[in-house]
Amino acid sequence: MNNTLAILGATGSVGLQALEVARARKHNVDFISAGRNSALAERIAREFKPTAVAMADLRAANELKFRLRDTSVRIYAGESGICEGVKQSKADTVINAILGSAGLSPTLSVIDSGKRLALANKESLVIAGEIVMSRAREKGVEIIPVDSEHSAIFQSLKAGNRSEVKKLILTASGGPFYGKSRAELERITVADTLAHPTWKMGKKITVDSATLMNKGFEIIEAAHLFSISPDKIDVVIHRESILHSAVEYVDNSIIGEFSVPDMRMCVQYAIDYPNRLEGIGAPLDLVALGKMTFARPDTDAFPLLQMAKRAFFEGGGCPAVLNAADEVAVEAFLAGKISFTDIARVVIKTYELLHGARYARTPEEIVASDREARKVAKEYTK
Ligand code: NDP
């Protein structure tokens, strides 16, 4: 089956894996977007020959226009350019693999254009889950999760009715610092943090996996996607990253999805759904794996997991504050300005100060909470 795809964030870790799926399965790619990497965007455009490319960064858009001057590829610029490209695209499925809050407007554009959304950009749901989900319902647009845990839950929910679900089990690899105490975490370096034990991902999400902020965001993402309270979502540490998540039903049966850790499988599932076609990834050899382990997360050493639940319940602009503060803190950590344990300190201090964000309701108020949080968090990283 040859689908037409649009891939947003095509130059990133998930975007490049989505392109691998497109290459292997000979899907047509008619629109891509990127942030700043015009050299890679050029290489992708020359190979996949999309009708249009959008660069979020205005300078990068001009560079790309120059690089592709011998082609007829249309170049769009800025966030509005990404949204325009989505609107014009003939894609059946749009994969949103943009990093961070910049993914929200494109998510809403995909929904407004009535195309199927394969969503990797979890921040869209973290920041504005209610708005995104209600708009998707209104427009009759399907959101197929690409995040491996949510893809696993989406698949496991096919085994029963919603009223039969007891809880969701969200698995977490635990990141590179599983088992370390708070004191040991004080001495962690950037290089230690980027060495994820099982997944190869972009830098931001790799750091978020190490602080467990990523798992916190995934609780919020799952709560919105599957209309379930975070109180019914259990996080379980599973070092091998083979059971990608599961659903426990009222009869105490647990239905989960097991496979080798490979994001291409999640992208492929989202494109092929509701069908299953031959996989491009490696099969899982259970005997070679031998055993799987499960444990409770240490919420004392990794306080950001609980912060996410709190932000979900406090609602309004609180999840947006959490996300924005984390984006600023992780950037400062990667730049060597703050330590690993400072990430949680900056996020929690920013959150406590901007507690009033819970009264934010409209998209404009949520964006204002995000902006305020960035300002405050930047002060704390100095
Ligand atoms: P990367 O940092 O590897 O890639 C991010 C992509 O977004 C790049 O194409 C980048 O462009 C683009 N981008 C960055 N800033 C902007 C902006 N302001 N506006 C528009 N585009 C922008 O991230 P990942 O691929 O790791 O993650 C992408 C999303 O998928 C995140 O939401 C993450 O949480 C989620 N995810 C990732 C997984 C993974 O395995 N990596 C697993 C599950 C979910 P450029 O590089 O050209 O600047």
Expressed as residue numbers, the domain containing 9 is 4-145
- Same domain for 31 and 74, yes or no, is yes
Q: Which two tokens stand for residue 59?
A: 């300078």
Ligand 1 touching residue 263 (CB < 6 A): yes
In testing the pocket of ligand 1, which one of 40, 82, 84, 98 has its CB within 8 Å of the most ligand atoms? Answer: 98
22 falls within a domain: yes
Domain final residue pick, 95, 129, 145: 145
340 falls within a domain: yes
The string of pLDDT tens digits covering residues 161-187 is 999 999 999 999 988 889 888 888 988
165 falls within a domain: yes
Q: Which two tokens stand for residue 87?
A: 């609107």
What is the number of the ligand 1 atom nearest to the C-alpha of 263? 40
Residues in the chain: 382
d(CA 129, CA 220): 8
Q: Which residues pair with 5 in a beta bridge?
A: 29, 93
d(CA 21, CA 24): 5
- Same domain for 139 and 169, yes or no, is no
Neighbours of 307 (CB within 10 A): 23
Neighbours of 248 (CB within 10 A): 18
List the residue whose alpha carbon is closest to atom 32 of ligand 1. 121
d(CA 343, CA 332): 8
- Same domain for 125 and 179, yes or no, is no
Determine the Cα angle at 283 with ends 282 and 287, to 5°: 130
- Same domain for 189 and 119, yes or no, is no
Do 254 and 248 touch, CB atoms closer than 8 A? yes
302 falls within a domain: no
Ligand 1 touching residue 268 (CB < 6 A): no
- Same domain for 18 and 124, yes or no, is yes
14 falls within a domain: yes
- Same domain for 154 and 281, yes or no, is yes
Q: Is the peptide bond before 274 cis (omega within 30 degrees of 0)?
A: yes
> What is the residue-level pLDDT of the chain in tens, covering all 382 positions?
669 999 999 999 999 999 999 999 999 999 999 999 999 999 999 999 999 999 999 999 999 999 999 999 999 999 999 999 999 999 999 999 999 999 999 999 999 999 999 999 999 999 999 999 999 999 999 999 999 999 999 999 999 999 999 999 999 998 888 988 888 898 899 999 998 778 778 899 999 999 999 999 999 999 999 999 999 999 999 999 999 999 999 999 999 999 999 999 999 999 999 999 999 999 999 999 999 999 999 998 899 999 999 999 999 999 999 999 999 999 999 999 999 999 999 999 999 999 999 999 888 899 999 999 999 999 999 9
289 falls within a domain: yes
List the residue whose alpha carbon is closest to atom 15 of ligand 1. 35
